[in-house]
Every structure is written in C-alpha cells, then in structure tokens.
Structure 1
Amino acid sequence: MPETQPPIDVSRLPLAEIEAAIAERRRPPVERWNPAHCGHSDMRIDREGRWWHAGRRIERDALVRLFASVLRREPDGSHVLVTPAEKLDIEVEFAALRVTALAIEGDGEGQRIAVQLNSGEAAVIGPETPLLMREDLPVIALRGGLEASFERPVYYELAELALANDPPGIWSAGTFFLLSAS
C-alpha cells in the first residue's frame, strides 16, 4: 500500500510552510474508534524508538509510519494499535515516537522550533506540544497523549540551544521550557 502523505521534512521548508503542512495533514481518527480489544500485536517500540514484531526489527520506514498512524495512547498510559475493526496492545518502553530533526527560526523569546518525527509528521514545540522532562530526558507531548523522545544527535542540538540560556531551557512559540530534571 503506497503512502498517500509523504513525510514532512523540516530541513527543507521554512517554518510557515511546516505549520501549513501540519495543519493540512490528515490523520486517521483513532480517538473516535472503539473496537473490541483483540489481544497483543506482538509488537514493541524499544527505548531507542526502534519498532519490532515477533522479535524481528521492522526496517521499512514506510511500515513504521503506517503503524504509527494508527497508534493511540489509552487513558491508563498503555498504547494500542487501533483500526475501526480491532484494537491490539503494543509495548512501548519509553516514548512511542522519535524526533529525528529540528528546524529553528528566530532567537530568544521569538524563537520557534519545529520537530520532524519518525511517524512522518511534524510539530512545533509550544503550548499545544510542550517539551517535558521524563526520567531526566526531554520528550515532546503530542496528540492524544503520545510522546516523542529525541534521537541522540537531535538531543545534543537541543541541549546546545538550552545551555545558551540560564537556567538551561529553550524558547519556542512564546513559551520557555526548562530543560532540567528539577
């Protein structure tokens, strides 16, 4: 099944175009689907954001994006893959998605930071998609309670931005996000 929506590449677009692409993005309405629970998918997302099925790593990015499009976090914190017809558990070791790139425009209080996700989506860090600390690591809170952690090179880029401020943190979309555990 070919992808109908190409991934949003934050490295190639100005922030205004990234925001327009985010707004135009069509997602399956997983929050409205309530099928019967069918069991476990035999899938897991490890701490490094790698997807696995039956003990074998899923190598195809397009397949990961497809599964991510029907991923939902339940009120109890568990994760499921959901379609109109079935709901299957999926184990998530830390965060369901990964930030793979940043796009930064402006500086200081006027700075805005867009993130590219391994799901093919993008987000702008701000009040609606805040940067949080969990287990001493930054994560971005996304739609429906999903979270995205940072790939190591992107984390270092974020840390460099944060260390330029006292206390360490980043500005994005008019909000300051403290980047420390306390």
Structure 2
Amino acid sequence: MKPGDHPDFYRLAPPPGASRDSTIRLDKEGRFWHDGERVEHQAMEQALRSWVAVHPDDGRPILTNGYDWCYFQVDDAPLFVSALHVRESGTTLVLFDGTEELLDPSTLALGADGVVYARARGGTLEARFSRHAQTQLEPLLVEAEPPTVSVGGKTVVLPDRRRAG
C-alpha cells in the first residue's frame, strides 16, 4: 500500500522545510519546465506526465507518485492527447503519458485558437489535442462549420471551450 492510498494523504503537511507549491510548469505544448529550465531528461518528463492528477479537495492540478505530491503550474490544460485511435469498438484517446482511455464525445470542446479539448481521467482533467491527434479526428468529422463529429453513434457539435462544462 502506497501512502497515496491513505484517505488523508493529500491533507498532510509537507515535509519539514518543503512546500507543496513547486516551480514546475507545463506549457501549452505539453513540455515541462522546472525553475525556468526545460526538463530535457526524457525519462523524467515521462514520469512527470504519468504523475498528473487533481487534488481531491481543491481541484487544482498536482503531480503525485503515490509517495509525495506537489502543485504545479499549467499554462493551458494539464493533459495532452498525443493520438486518437478510431476503431469500430470505440474511439480512444492516447494521452501524453502513454495511457489510453475511451473518448467521451460529450466532453469535446473547441478553443479560441481552433484547438480541440476533451475531458479525461474520468472527466476530472482537461486534455488538449496535439496537432497530430487533431488531424486524426478527420474520419469522425461530419461538418466543418460548425465543427461536428460523430463518435459511437453520437453526433456532437463542438461547443466553445469557454462555455463548455
């Protein structure tokens, strides 16, 4: 059992001399930065991607490995969609940490800059589509204006992100 499995894990004070706030930042392209420097180590960046979660009490994005946690800054969305798998059995999002989950088409929205977003991790976090993932929506596109997709028999007009959910 990891400490993160304990119900009070996110309510415990940080270790002595430490803070729950960090200088880690996730930019709008899905790259991590620490103390203003780009996280270049591939394994570290992959670990950070896999640690993205939401604080259960205040809803802020956190990084947690089950043994410790901290808040981090998010320039846009805390998750990114790297690819989309469109299959007869369903459409799945491939998130930037390599995990896959079923796309809930009712969570799709369109940002002011034309970028598509969806909810992921049980609807708890927003995920920004990469350019590559966004092009993979093409087989699902029913109408270009307004942007309308058909996923699993559901036709959805993509709402403006600012007004969606």
- Relative to the length of structure 1, the TM-score reads 0.65
Q: Name which of structure 1's ranges 63-72 and 80-89 shifts more when overlaid on structure 2.
A: 80-89
Higher share in helix: 1
2:136 corresponding residue in structure 1 = 157
Q: Tell me the alpha carbon deviations over residues 81-130 of structure 1, each in whole angstroms, 9 at most, x when there is no partner.
A: 23555431100111112111111123xxxx72112111121111127xx5
Point out 4+ residue stretches in structure 1 off by more than 6 angstroms.
Answer: none
Residue 49 of structure 1 aligns to a residue in which SS?
Answer: coil
In the alignment, the residues of structure 2 paired with residue 178 and residue 78 of structure 1 have an alpha-carbon distance, to the nearest angstrom, of: 28
Letter in 1 for 2:38: R
Structure 1 unaligned segments of length 5 or more: list them.
1-27
In the alignment, the residues of structure 2 paired with residue 29 and residue 154 of structure 1 have an alpha-carbon distance, to the nearest angstrom, of: 32
Once the two structures are superposed, the pairs formed by residues 62-77 of structure 1 within 5 Å of their partners are: 62-74=43-55, 75-77=57-59
Q: Which has the higher contact order (CA 8 A, sep 6+)?
A: 1
Q: Tell me the alpha carbon deviations over residues 21-42 of structure 1, each in whole angstroms, 9 at most, x when there is no partner.
A: xxxxxxx967953232533221
Deviation, structure 1 residue 157: 2.9
1:39 corresponding residue in structure 2 = 20
Q: 1:170 aligns with which of 138, 144, 149?
A: 149
Structure 2 unaligned segments of length 5 or more: list them.
none
Letter in 2 for 1:36: A
The percentage of aligned residue pairs carrying the same residue is: 28
In the alignment, the residues of structure 2 paired with residue 139 and residue 46 of structure 1 have an alpha-carbon distance, to the nearest angstrom, of: 15
Deviation, structure 1 residue 53: 1.0
Once the two structures are superposed, the pairs formed by residues 94-173 of structure 1 within 5 Å of their partners are: 94-106=76-88, 112-126=90-104, 130-133=106-109, 135-136=111-112, 137-143=115-121, 145-158=124-137, 160-165=138-143, 168-173=147-152
RMSD: 3.0
1:92 corresponding residue in structure 2 = 74
8 Å CA contact retained: 1:125, 1:173: no
In the alignment, the residues of structure 2 paired with residue 30 and residue 118 of structure 1 have an alpha-carbon distance, to the nearest angstrom, of: 24
- Relative to the length of structure 2, the TM-score reads 0.71
